[in-house]
Amino acid sequence: MSRRLAPQLIEIIDRSQTVTFKFDGQTYTAYPGDTIASALAAANVHTLSRSFKYHRPRGLLCCAGHCPNCLVQVGGEMNVRACTEPVQEGMTVRPQNVWPSLNYDLMALTALGDRFLPVGFYYKTFIRPQFLWPVYEHFLRHAAGLGEIKPDTPWDQYDKQYLHADVVVIGGGPAGMSAAVAAVAQGARVLLFDDQPHPGGHTRYTRVESDQLAVIREQLAVSSNLKPQTWNSKLETHFNSTILGWWEDNWLAGVCGRRLYKIRAQAVVIATGAYEQPLLFDNNDLPGILLGSAVQRLLHLYGVAPGQRAVVITANDEGWQVAADLLAAGVQVLAVADEQPGRENQWVAQIAAANVPIYWGHTIRAATGRSQVKGAILTPIPVSPKKSAQDKLTSCDLIALSVAWTPASGLLYQAGGKLAYQEAAAEFRPNHIPPKVFVAGRVNGTYNLEAALTEGEMAGRNAAAYTGYGQPAPPINLPPEPRRSSTQIIVPGQKKQFLCYCEDVTAKDLQTAIAEGYDSIELLKRYSTISMGPCQGKLCSANTVHLCARANEQTIEQTGTTTARPPMTPVKLGVLAGQTMEPVSYTPIHDWHEQNGGKMMVAGLWLRPEHYGDPVAEVQAVRQRVGLIDVSTLGKLRFTGPGVPRLLDRIYSNKWQKLERGRVRYGIMCNDEGVILDDGVTARVGEQEWYTTVTSSGATSVYEYVQWWLQSGWGEGVHLTNVTEGNAAFNLAGPQARAVLQTLTQADVSNQAFPYLHVRDLTLARVPCRVMRLGFTGELAYEIHCPASYGLYLWQTILAAGEAHGIRPFGVEAQRVLRLEKAHIIVGQDTDALSDPIAADMGWAVKLDKESFLGQRPLTRITKEGPKQKLVGFTMINPQIVPDEGLQIVRPNPDSPLGLEIIGWVTSSRFSPTLNQAIGLCWLPVSLAEQPGTPFTIRMNGKLVEACVHHGPFYDPEGVRLRG
Amino acid sequence: MMNEPGKLTPIFTLAQKSGARFELRDGWQIAAAFAPSAIEQAAAQQHVALADCSANGKLIVEGTQVEKVIQALGELPELAIGQGAAASPHHIFRLRQDQFFISTPIGEEGAVQEQLHAAAAPLVSLITFTPITHGRAELWLVGPQAAELLSRLCGLDFHDQQFPNLSARQSSVAKTRQLILRRDLGQLPAYALIGGRSLAAYLWETIMVCGRDLPIQPIGFSTIEKLLNL
């Protein structure tokens, strides 16, 4: 039977079309604009899911996206709130937390043993015997949690957006709208956020209207009639958008669907409204018990009657309006119970005229029914602890609760606001508003529509004035508000009275916890997990405070409130992650590498070819013929100015003042503790121009390090530019390198004209290049730097020119072997955060006799005292065994674990195809390192293997080949 | 393999895969068009378009007396840091008190450098010229939704009040360092993202994914020139 009503004045569904969707295997029809919950309510489906702990049937309660009662699984997405999720054609919706089915859930049997499952039972029950914990864990993990994660769920696109405004208004109800319009009128740039799809707040479904509100609606529409994507509008409205939290300096985070907003505001107007609160009575979680505002939403926005026979429980005017609305919609109202002894408003007369029984001074003791509401037991106030002869059972299928409100003050708390309990209103009210924050509307206790509009206008004007637009509003006194919240929110009872719908915490649970000593509100929260579920305390915090106060015989003020923390609503991890953004740097030759079999490896942000299929053949090509490697990733710095030699003298450990134009020199850069930071070569390419290469990984850090010194007093006569990206760089290495180079230029590149450690600006294949003769690989080699845009052309041209000489591209792996054969270090691999050049056996690059340089003092001390460890080469006794890099070097010591003492470690190791043996570099105590041939032991896969110390390069120790 | 020395932008391969039509300009292979001109223009005028303008000349001039040198390019207003001005056909932006960025049409940076070099010759203080055309990519986001798209990638405020035409900011865009220049094409908002060449392909692809819903359209250099002359 359909519960759909005739078209309503303000409904948001489109009855001209229909959509079909599935819920729990059944097909249902809905209208565009329906939510999953409204469509199911129209189809007379009461139960949407099962509760977390006791698997009790749960149906719609708030219809506003606040409570956990309607969490469902939509396709692969779990914990979707059915009351706010628009229904879509073909959607597959399943209830959560049910086994085997929604209507017959065997897990509901847990309720039979509920006395063994009080709050906090998991802290006490499963800790002994300890060996059974894996068994407990297995079952608990299966029983806990909501929904089903499907690992094969396709990726969704998430993103983030940064927004800026003078004034951010949070809440699109009457006060928020009024604030936004007022702030815009004063010239401020305003962002308005509301979690509902349309502006209006409660006026959308309560149908209250005023001339002033109509004007503001019109102004809002005019101010924001530019589409949201029009960047320069004064007012941007963001609906279906929830502000998740407030951080220092009005830094807000918001979420809209799959987008995270990061918002910076100069001033914030909090007009977040209030949450309607449930009442604590027996069986207060049965499907068919709805908050009054939920009833109105269903009636007016979706044209759905939530029941046929209703009982309304109220403590305010809103409840009477709900009753009148139900009557107007054709729902039979069987009783209205008001805790007050009498009341005057326009609806009371309507209800009385319709001959609806009215119970003044009454409330509800219990709801009856198993899977849904069958009746309501009304009882007079004060409520007797046990059933009374005055109790009246009214058969019904709907209980509407309009008994209390609590301000939506979470963001205000986060912003540093304070609230105090007002006995007269039976609600918390702000009593301290921090600077840059303004408050208006229900969150401030202002429920009256005209007053809320006025207060909103004042807040908007004041916020705009705070940001420098216009003048603040003069203070005015608003009319006093009648009390809207009950002081009788806890009704004595015998059955389950649910305080926390998220975690199935009952009033009795809380009383037990308090009796156990968890009597402070913060402790109670942590112990019971109340307010820590999907509702984040929206429907339970206020009632918890009341109950805690009563149990402790304290006042509400003495009891206090819990801390409000972000996020205000559950947020998907995908939203927090946003779009995948992992920067990758490509050299100008990247595509060629990929197309020619390069196996790419990650090196910092860069992708580099590790090899092209056969690294041994690549090593042999360099040793025997010629090879070409892409070293565009090298850091490249350009120094200009007369002050450069002095600067280089200060930042490098060797001397630079006398380096002649056209010469290249290797240098080690240390920090002021003498620790090696980086190394590289510097070429003097002009009288006042120097070109430096640093390690690929050090490009940015060295640039920033040197910049720091330049800006700290060493910048006189020096300009520094990072030109890493501007030049592609290749190393042409091997005995045939000169022959290949010569085919590309008419310049004389003979050993006499272009000797080792010299630099030349040459034109190669019509491309302007800077060529340095270096020897990292131990062969005759030229490092060719050219403008990056010519990189691919020159690379291909060199390979073509080298074809006749057997040229072969080589990758990082071959380069590592080649440099290891020469015992050249790699900073960061062979050195660490404690390595100095003396210990690294590079004392030849430290000139202590120059004026002053970074690390001079510690290096002088180390030179004088001698290092404790040294970096040396080693060969293996069994030349076929290659120890892994990082392995420990040990010696026997009965006092150490395993009887072995760690005395060093391997930093580099490879099998050398040139020498046909394993070689490496390692750190050893000086006593072992000093004498070549000294044996030592490496612990490898639990076994001990023998190696011996080697001094100097393994290959071409005299350096004949690279100088040739 | 190319027979002539050819200059390739970092977007060359991506543009090739997208079916771009290329033209040779001053030795550069530039993506002239990705789609028919009318489609590209409409995309830029109605939504947002992305263009590779990396071949544009780019020059950094630095020195304590750099302001005097810059005047060689024409009568320029006094520029605050972050402000720019047109010195047709070039554009000049002040990045620091002692540093200017100059954007030139393709292939004209050499001539500009010579002109400035001559102006710097009589000065005693150190002036350094660094051509960065090859080292920096230049991606343009053009269209009414360009700011919307940028706000998804960068924390700056792109509102007209905060980031007017002919202004420059240095910030992170999609986790990469970029110099962002606002250089409207007539009434059409346009932003040039100038950043490391090696990261340009990543940035291009990230922007295309991020702007998919707007929708975003890659456009060629020819369309940029047409929009400039509208």
Q: What φ, ψ does residue A160 adopt, rounded to 5°?
A: -130, 155
Task: For domain B7-55+134-229, give the CATH number.
Answer: 3.30.1360.120
Q: Does B107 touch chain A (CB under 8 A)?
A: no
- Mark yes or no for CB contact B8/A792 under 8 Å: yes
Same domain, A421 and A398: no
Q: Is A733 a domain residue? A: yes
Q: Which of A582, A586, A638 sits opposite B198 (nearest CB)?
A: A586
Instruction: Write out residues 8-27 of B within 8 Å (CB-CB) of A.
Output: 8-10, 13
CATH number (domain holding residue A642)? 3.30.1360.120
Q: Within 10 Å of residue A138's Cβ, how many Cβ atoms?
A: 10
Q: Any idea what the Cα angle at residue A617 is, between residues A612 and A623, rounded to 5°?
A: 120
Q: Are residues A644 and A724 in the same domain?
A: yes
For residue A235, give the nearest of A247, A221, A253 by alpha carbon. Answer: A221
**Is residue A585, in this structure, part of any structural domain at all?**
no
Residue A608 lies in a domain: no
For residue A70, what are the domain limits? 19-101+279-402
With an 8 Å Cβ cutoff, are B202 and A584 in contact? yes
Sign of CA dihedral A188, A194, A197, A201: negative
E strand or H helix at A38: helix A36-42
Element of type H or E holding B61: strand B57-62
Question: Cβ of B7 under 8 Å from any chain A Cβ?
Answer: yes
Supply the CATH classification number for the domain B57-131: 3.30.70.1400
Q: What is B67-92 written as a DSSP string?
A: HHHHGGGS--PPPPTTBEEEETTEEE
Q: Write the CB contacts of A638 (distance below 8 Å, at least 6 apart in sequence).
A: A689, A690, A691, A692, A720, A721, A722, A723, B130
Looking at residue A921, its pLDDT comes to 98
10 Å CB burial of residue A713 (0-12, 13-18, 19+) is exposed
Using a CB-CB distance cutoff of 8 angstroms, which residues of chain B are in contact with residue A606?
198
CA closest to B28 among chain A residues: A789
- Interchain proximity B135–A727, CB inside 8 Å: yes
A711 burial level (CB within 10 Å; 0-12, 13-18, 19+): exposed
Whether A355 and A434 share a structural domain:
no
pLDDT of residue A628: 98
- Same structural domain, A324 and A233: no
C-alpha triplet A224, A177, A243: angle, nearest 5°: 90
CB-nearest partner of B5 from A583, A726, A765: A765
Among candidates A721, A789, A794 on the partner chain, residue whose Cβ is nearest the Cβ of B9: A789
Please give the pLDDT value at position A232. Answer: 60
Query: How far off is chain A from B162, nearest CA to CA, in Å?
Result: 10
Indicate whether A745 and A842 sit together in one domain: no
Question: Chain B contacts of A787, Cβ < 8 Å?
Answer: 7, 133-134
Contact B134 A788 (CB under 8 A): yes
On whether both A648 and A778 belong to a single domain, the answer is yes
**CA of B47, closest CA in chain A: separation in Å?**
10
Would you say the C-alpha torsion A252, A255, A259, A260 has a positive or negative sign?
positive
Rg (CA), chain B: 17
Find which of A262, A586, A789, A796 to mutate to test the B interface (most B CBs within 10 Å of its CB). A789
Q: Could you say which of B156, B158, B201 has the minimum Cβ distance to residue A231?
A: B158
ipTM, two decimals, is: 0.96
A533 and A554 housed in the same domain: yes
Residue of A nearest to B11 (CA): A588
Phi first, then psi, for residue B105 (nearest 5°) are -60, 165
Cβ contact A321:A312 at 8 Å: no
User: Strand, coil or helix: what is A906?
Assistant: strand
Q: Are residues A529 and A499 in contact, defined by beta-carbon separation less than 8 angstroms?
A: no
- pLDDT number for residue A226: 43
Q: Kindly give the interhelix angle for A174-185 and A211-223, rounded to the nearest 10 degrees.
A: 60
User: CB distance B126–A262 less than 8 Å?
Assistant: no
Mean pLDDT split into 10-residue runs, chain A, 964 residues: 92 96 97 98 95 93 95 93 96 92 88 82 80 86 80 86 97 97 95 93 89 86 58 83 96 96 98 97 97 98 97 96 97 97 94 96 96 96 90 97 96 96 93 96 96 97 98 92 87 91 93 94 93 93 94 93 92 93 96 97 95 98 98 97 96 95 97 96 96 94 96 94 96 98 97 97 97 96 98 97 98 98 96 96 95 95 96 97 97 91 97 97 97 97 96 96 92
Give whole-number Cα distances, A816 to A468, A629, A881, in Å.
62, 12, 18
**Adjacent-strand bridge partners of A686:** none
* Distance between CA atoms of residues B219 and B226, nearest Å: 11
Q: Do B199 and A159 touch (CB under 8 A)?
A: no
CB A261 within 8 A of CB A161: yes
Q: Are A172 and A254 in contact (CB under 8 A)?
A: no
Which of A232, A264, A789 has the CB atom closest to B8's CB atom?
A: A789
Q: What is the CA radius of gyration of chain A?
A: 39
Per the structure, how many domains does chain A have?
A: 6
- The whole-angstrom separation of Cα B50 and Cα B200 is 12
Backbone phi, then psi, for A247, in 5-degree steps?
A: -125, 175
A725, A727, A764, A790: best to mutate for the B interface, most B CBs within 10 A = A725
Smallest Cα distance from A694 to chain B, Å: 17
CA distance A32 to chain B (A): 22
CA A607 to chain centre: 26
Q: Phi/psi at B195 (nearest 5 deg)?
A: -150, 180
CA-CA-CA-CA dihedral for A143, A144, A150, A153, to nearest 10: 160
Q: What local confidence, expressed as pLDDT, does residue A229 receive?
A: 41
- Chain B residues with beta carbon closer than 8 angstroms to that of A264: 157
Looking at the structure, do residues A946 and A917 belong to the same domain, yes or no? yes
Option in A159, A264, A725 nearest B196 (CB): A725
CA distance B22 to B37: 14
Q: Are residues A634 and A741 in the same domain?
A: yes
What's the CA gap between A698 and A705, in Å, rounded? 10
pLDDT at A386: 87
Min Cα–Cα distance to chain B from A588, Å:
7
Minimum-distance CB partner of B198 among A157, A642, A725: A725
Q: Residues A742, A623: one domain?
A: yes
Tokens of A423: 């006995």
CATH of the domain at A180: 3.50.50.60
Assess B126–A contact: CB distance below 8 Å, yes or no.
Answer: yes
Q: Which residues contact A106 (CB under 8 A, 6 or more apart)?
A: A99, A100
How far apart are the C-alpha atoms of B136 and A762, rounded to whole Å? Answer: 23
Q: B4 vs chain A: nearest CA distance in angstroms?
A: 8
Q: How far apart are CA A836 and CA B117, in angstroms?
A: 43
pLDDT computed for residue B38 by the predictor: 96
The C-alpha of A321 sits at a distance from chain B's nearest C-alpha, in angstroms, of 44
CB atoms within 10 A of CB A156: 12
CB distance B152–A159 less than 8 Å? yes
Yes or no: say if A369 and A47 are a contact pair by the CB < 8 Å rule. no
Of A159, A584, A591, the CB nearest to B13: A591
Q: Are strands A719-722 and A689-694 parallel, antiparallel or unpaired?
A: unpaired
Cα separation, B187 vs B189, whole angstroms? 6
Chain A residues in contact with B99 (beta carbon < 8 A): none
Minimal CA separation from B219 to chain A, in Å? 21
Cβ burial of A303 (10 Å; 0-12, 13-18, 19+) is buried
Quick check: B62 and A719 CB within 8 A?
Answer: yes
Contact A420, A428 (CB under 8 A): yes
Q: Of the candidates B5, B162, B197, which has its C-beta nearest A725's C-beta?
A: B197
Kindly determine whether residue A229 and residue B145, on different chains, have CB atoms separated by under 8 Å: yes
Least confident of A140-149, A499-508, B41-50, B221-230: A140-149
A584/B7 touch (CB, cutoff 8 Å), yes or no: no
Find the CB nearest A160 among B10, B13, B152: B152
In chain B, what residues touch A588 (CB-CB under 8 Å)? Answer: 8, 10, 197
Q: Would residue A695 count as lying in a domain?
A: yes
Q: Which of residues 127-186 of B touch A (CB under 8 A)?
A: 128, 130-136, 144-145, 147-148, 151-152, 154-162, 174-176
Residue of A nearest to B156 (CA): A162
Which residue among A159, A583, A788 sits closest to B135, beta carbon to beta carbon? A788
Amino acid sitting at position A747: A
The neighbour count for residue A855, using CB atoms within 10 Å, is 24
Say whether A543 sits in a helix, a strand or coil: helix
Q: CA A663, CA A354: separation in Å to the nearest integer?
A: 105
Residue-range domain boundaries for chain B: 7-55+134-229, 57-131
Which residues of chain A neighbour B162 with C-beta distances below 8 Å? 164
| Closest CA in chain B for residue A787 | B134
Mark whether A216 and A237 lie in a shared domain. Answer: yes
Residue given tokens 């006791």 in the structure block: A54
Domain membership flag for residue A588: no
Q: Do A179 and A213 reside in the same domain of the chain?
A: yes
Contact A588 B8 (CB under 8 A): yes
Q: Measured between alpha carbons, how far is B194 from A362 in angstroms, rounded to an integer?
A: 72
Residue contact A719–B63, C-beta within 8 A: yes
Q: Which residues of B touch A726 (CB under 8 A)?
A: 131-132, 134-136, 197
